[in-house]
Structure 1
Amino acid sequence: MASLRFPFVFSRPQPPKPPRHFSKIAAAAATAAAFAAVSSNDRHRLFLQNALNSIFSSDNSLPLWGSLSLADSGAPVVESKTGSSFPSVLEASQKLCGIGLRRKCILGLKNIDVYEFGVYADDKDIKRCLSEKYGRFSASQLKGNKEFTEDLLENDIPMTVRLQIVYSKLSINSVRSAFEESVGIRLQKYGGSDNKELLHRFTSQFKDEIKIPRGSVIHLTREKGHVLRTTIDGQEVGSIQSKLLCRSILDLYVGEDSFDKQAKEDIKFNMVSYLQS
């Protein structure tokens, strides 16, 4: 499924500016208000960093974004363009790290939003695998750091990519064909040309009888031991143990040549914040 990316322009509702001095209770209320007011998919999609920093910057004794997480409030994160929401936590421990959008260009004339995606990871697993190497660095220092991206892909860190279908006319055959192309390219890139059987094992999970209307949810989860588990609307459709396949899937969303490059930076930013929390 060929794709051509275009810049987005998203509006960002501005949260009300609180008084310069306020109590911890008021600070908590302001945080909740900012969470509700700021959309997660604005132009830069920075997920509340700027909103929270602007609220707390007048009082240095209060925490900035670096000590908070997207999941702290427990509230879902709303994607402003489509109006759909993402849970802030999956399976009790995996926290939302970033939201992106997969688009497709039809005949070079029209762009369609195919699906949104959210990337989740357990902060404890991120710390376990990456804190020794990267714990002393700030998010700005790791911006554009390819080695950090490589370690995210290579390490045995449980992660989930949640796909939420936006395009109402999307068929399971289109999903299967899209993965055959995009995952196939990455399997060849990271593992050589002799991976057709592995690719077929993965894509054959998306059987013709499966329906994916708008709002359907697909989870692609890297579990411990580099096991890729695939579920569609909560029903498991397959599980494959393969480090190469796990890496190839995650590369679509957090790799250097990811579907949504701004989302990739958001994901890395928040994972670094988990290292420092």
Structure 2
Amino acid sequence: MVSLRFPFLFSQPGRPRSHPPATSRPFSPTAAAFAVGALAAAGATAAFAATSVSHNTSSSQNEFLQNALNFFSWNHSSPLWGSLSLADNSHPVVESKTGASFPSILGDSLKLCGIGLRKKSILGLKNIDVYAFGVYADDNDIKKLLTEKYAELSASQLKGNKEFNKDILEHDISMTVRLQIVYSKLSIRSVRSAFEESVGSRLQKFGGSGNEELLHRFTSQFKDEYKIPRGSVILLSRERGHVLRTSIDGKEVGSIQSKLLCTSILDLYIGEEPFDKQAKEDIELNLASYLQK
């Protein structure tokens, strides 16, 4: 039996990403109408495919269903995104500009809350896409730790709520940021240098000066011997007890117990000045929605 599931909320329509592609065109009512019609047609196609396969499980019909679902999930350039699943198997979510693919679930309990892009300016003349990222969270931890405080507020009311955002950053909630490299010329030295700058500024923001040793312990995990070609995956995971565990392409490279470091890492993606503002809004809304489920 085929089932369609949408475990994620959708971005508000008509809102461009904070970092639109250089070739993007101005928004127009005609384009909006066409886009809505295309999504509706895709939805109808997926619905028809689901009905069809329930009566006949031949391989050809299953292939048709897969293609229909893939079209509906992935073929768009707006921030609108979701996931479809066949039975109990979850499909990945694809970042439309880079093609980076993110599983909808990590491990046993971490759910994808949103995806975004880390861009970097070169000499102030050109922005390059360095890596795509996805933020995952354990919804059970959020319910356990924050339901009592925020139960009376809806997800839309919590969106942009600074206190809620602060609680997400500081509470002992299992979360992972999954980085997928999309820039083919990126070196591990560049990654180390970028973290020295970005994480260093957050450590100073939350902990003041005097955290150079903690910063060095973190950045020294990214040794020159590691190679990170396009497609490489780096996981930065806050585990229970405020332990930050780092892995590169499935190999653990270090773990550090530090609430300050965990908060500083997550602030890069869901804090007041995130790398991708649209992604931060999507993630925040989905995190808030877990309290209503």
TM-score range, shorter chain: 0.7 to 0.9
Over 4 Å off, 4+ runs: 8-13, 31-36
1:47 aligns with 2:81: yes
The alpha carbon displacement at 1:38 in A equals: 3.3
Q: Is the 8 A contact 1:118 1:163 kept in 2?
A: yes
The partner residue of 1:37 within 68, 72, 83 is 72
The alpha carbon displacement at 1:88 in A equals: 0.5
Q: CA RMSD in A?
A: 2.9
Give the aligned partner of residue 20 of structure 2. 7
**Letter of the aligned partner of 1:126 in structure 2?**
I
1:207 aligns with 2:223: yes
Q: Secondary structure at the match of 2:262?
A: helix
The alpha carbon displacement at 1:139 in A equals: 2.1
Matching of residues 149-228 of structure 1 within 5 Å:
149-228=165-244
1:110 aligns with 2:145: no
Give the aligned partner of residue 255 of structure 1. 271
The alpha carbon displacement at 1:215 in A equals: 0.3
The partner residue of 1:140 within 147, 156, 159 is 156
Question: Whole-Å Cα distance in 2 between the matches of residues 252 and 35 of structure 1?
Answer: 31
Q: Is the 8 A contact 1:15 1:38 kept in 2?
A: no
Q: Is the 8 A contact 1:216 1:232 kept in 2?
A: yes
**Letter of the aligned partner of 1:7 in structure 2?**
P
Question: Whole-Å Cα distance in 2 between the matches of residues 218 and 34 of structure 1?
Answer: 28
Aligned length: 249
Q: Is the 8 A contact 2:241 2:257 kept in 1?
A: yes
Q: Secondary structure at the match of 2:98?
A: coil
Q: Is the 8 A contact 1:102 1:115 kept in 2?
A: yes
* Alignment deviations for residues 231-256 of structure 1 (CA, whole Å, 9 cap, x no partner): 00000000000000000000001111
Question: Whole-Å Cα distance in 2 between the matches of residues 79 and 7 of structure 1?
Answer: 13
Compare CA radii of gyration and give the structure with the larger one: 2
Q: Is the 8 A contact 1:158 1:222 kept in 2?
A: yes
Specify every segment of 5 or more residues in structure 2 that has no aligned partner in the other structure, as ranges: 1-17, 26-30, 55-64
Q: Secondary structure at the match of 1:274?
A: helix
Q: Secondary structure at the match of 1:38?
A: helix
* Alignment deviations for residues 173-232 of structure 1 (CA, whole Å, 9 cap, x no partner): 000000000000010010010000000000000001110000000000000000000000
**CA 1:262 to 1:158, structure 2 compared with 1: closer, same or farther past 3 Å?**
same
Give the aligned partner of residue 88 of structure 1. 104
**Letter of the aligned partner of 1:14 in structure 2?**
L
The alpha carbon displacement at 1:100 in A equals: 0.6
The partner residue of 2:116 within 100, 104, 121 is 100
**Letter of the aligned partner of 2:20 in structure 1?**
P
Q: Secondary structure at the match of 1:180?
A: helix
The alpha carbon displacement at 1:135 in A equals: 2.5
**Letter of the aligned partner of 2:274 in structure 1?**
S
Question: Whole-Å Cα distance in 2 between the matches of residues 36 and 129 of structure 1?
Answer: 38
Q: Give the TM-score of the pair, scaled to structure 1.
A: 0.81
**Letter of the aligned partner of 2:177 in structure 1?**
V
Q: Is the 8 A contact 1:40 1:47 kept in 2?
A: no
Question: Whole-Å Cα distance in 1 between the matches of residues 114 and 229 of structure 2?
Answer: 24
Question: Whole-Å Cα distance in 1 between the matches of residues 99 and 271 of structure 2?
Answer: 26
Identity, % of aligned pairs? Answer: 68
